[in-house]
């Protein structure tokens, strides 16, 4: 006698449905953030040989979250680089980048998103955008740096945040290093079994932000990047409006700039030389 119950294959389909429902529940409660952000609160010491002495600065976002940042001033600076880091660590993990920028003649400000370093709060997509806007306002209003002397620089996750900010304002230049086209795209490649469109939608859509940026753009990427495929960098470069440049480096996602230091620093220097001499775009 045939027993009542699920039809043939029904158990498998039900299990799949339950997995999707669990993932949707995780996303809807905000728990997806625990798979996206990896903040650290411990501040690493700065190697003396780098020759930089960051200053702690603090400012508040529109939703009243107190953020911490490192400001690295340079005498006779060519401008200021507003630096947005990746989804892991905190400002102290990026001192080698700050040293490169200082050698190239720039002051810099690197901000810790909410929940990172000494910043208060809990990270979220909307929160990181509010953090970026507060950083811009601090540079323009407190440090008195005009937009035509500001370079926005984003690495990895910070690339999406940088593109979002450069679309809203008009910096002198925009630099995207090891950035992804969207969070959904990179997640689909890392976790092909997950319903990434359902979970992430258009979250951190760098490609969308970039098409409205009017500043000259430099895209930096490595074919050896094991986290964000090289194709993402090529697509971002294709999406960017001219004038634009592409710099190919070598090495892994988190260390490529250091592994390719000579090529990397020379490429940045060339980009600065060419486009800082051009008239600034109206803000």
Residues forming the active site: 156, 225, 253
d(CA 143, CA 162): 19
Identify the bridge partners of residue 70 per DSSP, sorted by sequence position.
56, 110
Nearest C-alpha neighbor of 55 from the set 64, 47, 46, 63: 46
**What residue has token string 């926005």?**
152
Q: CA 112, CA 79: separation in Å to the nearest integer? A: 21
Q: How far apart are the first and last CA of the chain?
A: 77
Distance CA 55, CA 70 (A): 5
* Number of other CB atoms surrounding residue 18 within 10 Å: 10
Please answer whether residues 69 and 135 qualify as being in contact, where contact means their C-beta atoms are separated by less than 8 angstroms: yes
- The two structure tokens encoding residue 264: 């990397």
Three-class DSSP category at 265: helix
Q: Which helix (H) or strand (E) holds 178?
A: none
Buried b (16+ CB within 10 A) or exposed e, 88-108: ebbbbbbbebbbbbbebebbb
Q: How far is Cα of residue 245 from the mean position of the Cα atoms in its chain?
A: 18
Instruction: Reduce the DSSP state of residue 119 to 3 states and report it.
Output: coil
| Gap between the Cα atoms of 262 and 280, Å rounded | 28
């Amino acid at each position: 006698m045939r027993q009542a119950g699920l039809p043939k294959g029904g158990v498998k389909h039900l299990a799949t449905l339950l997995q999707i429902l669990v993932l949707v529940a995780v996303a809807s409660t905000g728990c997806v953030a625990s798979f996206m952000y990896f903040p650290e609160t411990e501040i690493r010491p700065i190697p003396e040989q780098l020759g930089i002495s960051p200053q702690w600065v603090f400012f508040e976002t529109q939703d009243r979250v107190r953020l911490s940042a490192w400001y690295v001033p340079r005498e006779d600076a060519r401008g200021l680089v507003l630096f947005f880091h990746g989804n892991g660590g905190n400002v102290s993990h990026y001192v080698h980048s700050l040293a490169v920028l200082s050698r190239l003649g720039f002051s810099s400000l690197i901000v810790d998103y909410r929940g990172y370093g000494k910043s208060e709060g809990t990270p979220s997509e909307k929160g990181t955008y509010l953090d970026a806007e507060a950083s811009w306002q601090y540079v323009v209003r407190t440090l008195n740096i005009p937009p035509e002397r500001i370079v926005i620089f984003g690495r990895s996750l910070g690339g999406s945040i940088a593109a979002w900010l450069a679309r809203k304002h008009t910096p002198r230049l925009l630099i995207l290093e090891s950035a992804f086209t969207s969070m959904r795209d990179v997640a689909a490649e890392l976790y092909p079994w997950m319903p990434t469109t359902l979970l992430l939608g258009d979250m951190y859509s760098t490609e969308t932000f970039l098409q409205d940026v009017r500043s000259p753009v430099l895209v930096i990427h490595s074919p050896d990047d094991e986290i964000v495929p090289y194709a993402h960098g090529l697509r971002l470069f294709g999406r960017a409006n001219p004038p634009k440049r592409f710099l190919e480096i070598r090495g892994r996602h988190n260390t490529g700039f250091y592994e390719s230091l000579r090529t990397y620093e020379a490429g940045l220097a060339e980009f600065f030389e060419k486009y800082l001499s051009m008239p600034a775009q109206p803000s």
